[in-house]
Amino acid sequence: MKKIETLVEDIYKLFNFSRIDKDEKEVDALIDNFGEMLKVHVKEFMYSEPRGNGYLRLSAIGKPTRQIWYDINTETEEKYPQAHALNFYMDIFLKNFYYSVHP
Protein backbone atom coordinates (compact mmCIF):
# COMPACT_ATOMS: atom_id res chain seq x y z
CA MET A 1 0.00 0.00 0.00
CA LYS A 2 1.27 3.46 -0.85
CA LYS A 3 2.06 5.84 1.97
CA ILE A 4 2.59 9.58 2.07
CA GLU A 5 6.10 9.00 3.43
CA THR A 6 7.11 7.24 0.18
CA LEU A 7 5.48 9.75 -2.18
CA VAL A 8 8.70 11.20 -3.60
CA GLU A 9 10.27 7.78 -4.20
CA ASP A 10 7.05 6.56 -5.86
CA ILE A 11 7.03 9.56 -8.22
CA TYR A 12 10.65 8.92 -9.19
CA LYS A 13 9.81 5.26 -9.85
CA LEU A 14 7.13 6.36 -12.33
CA PHE A 15 9.74 8.12 -14.44
CA ASN A 16 12.29 5.35 -14.52
CA PHE A 17 13.95 5.62 -17.91
CA SER A 18 16.00 2.47 -17.67
CA ARG A 19 16.30 0.15 -20.64
CA ILE A 20 13.15 -1.85 -21.44
CA ASP A 21 13.43 -5.64 -21.28
CA LYS A 22 11.31 -6.36 -24.35
CA ASP A 23 12.17 -7.70 -27.76
CA GLU A 24 11.66 -5.68 -30.95
CA LYS A 25 8.30 -7.27 -31.83
CA GLU A 26 6.83 -6.39 -28.43
CA VAL A 27 8.10 -2.82 -28.73
CA ASP A 28 6.61 -2.53 -32.24
CA ALA A 29 3.27 -3.80 -30.94
CA LEU A 30 3.32 -1.24 -28.11
CA ILE A 31 4.15 1.58 -30.53
CA ASP A 32 1.37 0.50 -32.91
CA ASN A 33 -1.12 0.32 -30.03
CA PHE A 34 -0.05 3.75 -28.82
CA GLY A 35 -0.39 5.19 -32.34
CA GLU A 36 -3.91 3.82 -32.70
CA MET A 37 -4.98 5.26 -29.33
CA LEU A 38 -3.43 8.60 -30.22
CA LYS A 39 -5.21 8.63 -33.59
CA VAL A 40 -8.59 8.08 -31.92
CA HIS A 41 -8.05 10.93 -29.45
CA VAL A 42 -6.72 13.37 -32.06
CA LYS A 43 -9.70 12.69 -34.33
CA GLU A 44 -12.07 13.16 -31.40
CA PHE A 45 -10.39 16.47 -30.57
CA MET A 46 -10.52 17.71 -34.16
CA TYR A 47 -14.21 16.94 -34.65
CA SER A 48 -15.49 17.96 -31.22
CA GLU A 49 -17.59 21.04 -30.65
CA PRO A 50 -16.33 23.49 -28.05
CA ARG A 51 -18.36 23.18 -24.86
CA GLY A 52 -19.80 26.25 -23.25
CA ASN A 53 -20.25 27.04 -19.59
CA GLY A 54 -23.86 25.82 -19.53
CA TYR A 55 -23.11 22.73 -17.48
CA LEU A 56 -23.15 22.14 -13.76
CA ARG A 57 -19.97 20.59 -12.44
CA LEU A 58 -18.91 19.13 -9.12
CA SER A 59 -16.55 22.06 -8.65
CA ALA A 60 -19.65 24.24 -8.20
CA ILE A 61 -20.42 22.61 -4.85
CA GLY A 62 -20.28 25.24 -2.14
CA LYS A 63 -20.47 28.24 -4.47
CA PRO A 64 -23.30 30.72 -3.98
CA THR A 65 -26.24 30.03 -6.30
CA ARG A 66 -26.07 33.52 -7.77
CA GLN A 67 -22.43 32.98 -8.79
CA ILE A 68 -23.32 29.64 -10.40
CA TRP A 69 -26.19 31.28 -12.31
CA TYR A 70 -23.93 34.03 -13.64
CA ASP A 71 -21.20 31.55 -14.53
CA ILE A 72 -23.67 29.52 -16.61
CA ASN A 73 -25.66 32.37 -18.16
CA THR A 74 -22.95 34.92 -18.88
CA GLU A 75 -21.35 34.72 -22.30
CA THR A 76 -17.60 35.17 -22.06
CA GLU A 77 -15.39 34.93 -25.07
CA GLU A 78 -12.21 33.06 -24.33
CA LYS A 79 -9.00 34.13 -25.98
CA TYR A 80 -8.10 30.49 -26.77
CA PRO A 81 -11.35 28.47 -26.65
CA GLN A 82 -9.76 25.10 -27.41
CA ALA A 83 -6.93 25.47 -24.89
CA HIS A 84 -8.74 23.53 -22.15
CA ALA A 85 -9.64 20.70 -24.52
CA LEU A 86 -6.06 20.58 -25.80
CA ASN A 87 -4.77 20.38 -22.24
CA PHE A 88 -7.21 17.53 -21.52
CA TYR A 89 -6.17 15.59 -24.63
CA MET A 90 -2.48 16.11 -23.93
CA ASP A 91 -3.09 14.59 -20.51
CA ILE A 92 -4.76 11.58 -22.15
CA PHE A 93 -1.92 11.40 -24.67
CA LEU A 94 0.74 11.30 -21.97
CA LYS A 95 -1.14 8.69 -19.93
CA ASN A 96 -1.57 6.48 -22.99
CA PHE A 97 2.10 6.85 -23.81
CA TYR A 98 3.16 5.95 -20.28
CA TYR A 99 0.85 2.92 -20.04
CA SER A 100 1.86 1.66 -23.48
CA VAL A 101 5.52 1.65 -22.41
CA HIS A 102 4.91 0.46 -18.82
CA PRO A 103 1.90 -1.93 -18.99
- Residue by residue, DSSP assigns 9-61 as HHHHHHT--PPP---HHHHHHHHHHHHHHHHHHHHHHHHPPPP-S-S--GGGT
* Global pTM value: 0.42
From first to last of its 103 residues, what are the pLDDT tens digits of the chain?
678 888 888 778 777 767 777 788 988 888 888 888 888 877 887 787 766 666 677 888 888 988 888 888 887 666 656 666 677 777 777 777 777 766 6
